[in-house]
Amino acid sequence: MGTEAKNSKSKSGIKLITFALIGYIFCYFGYYQFLLLLLGYVVLVEKNNWLIYQLTQALILRLSYDVIRSIWNFIHQSLHKFFNYLEVKYETMSSLSSFNDTVIDLLLYAFLILLIIGIIRLLISKEVKIPFISNLTKKAVEFDPTK
Delimit the domains of the chain by residue range.
2-138
pLDDT at 31: 93
Sequential pLDDT tens for the chain (147 residues): 555 666 688 888 888 899 999 999 999 999 999 999 999 999 999 888 888 999 999 999 999 999 999 999 999 888 888 877 777 777 777 888 888 889 999 999 999 999 998 899 888 876 788 888 888 888 888 766 655
pLDDT at 56: 92
Q: How far is CA 96 from CA 70, 73, 85, 90, in A?
A: 17, 12, 15, 10
> What is the amino acid identity at position 126?
K
pLDDT at 62: 94
Closest CA to 61 of 100, 16, 15, 117: 117
pLDDT at 32: 92
Q: How crowded is residue 106: how many other Cβ atoms within 10 Å of its Cβ?
A: 11
Based on its alpha-carbon atoms, the radius of gyration of the chain, rounded to whole angstroms, reads 19
Q: How far apart are the first and last CA of the chain?
A: 7
Distance between CA atoms of 53 and 142, rounded to whole angstroms?
Answer: 9
Nearest-10 Cα torsion for 45, 49, 54, 58: 70
Residue 34 sits at the vertex; the CA angle it makes with 29 and 39, to the nearest 5 degrees, is 115
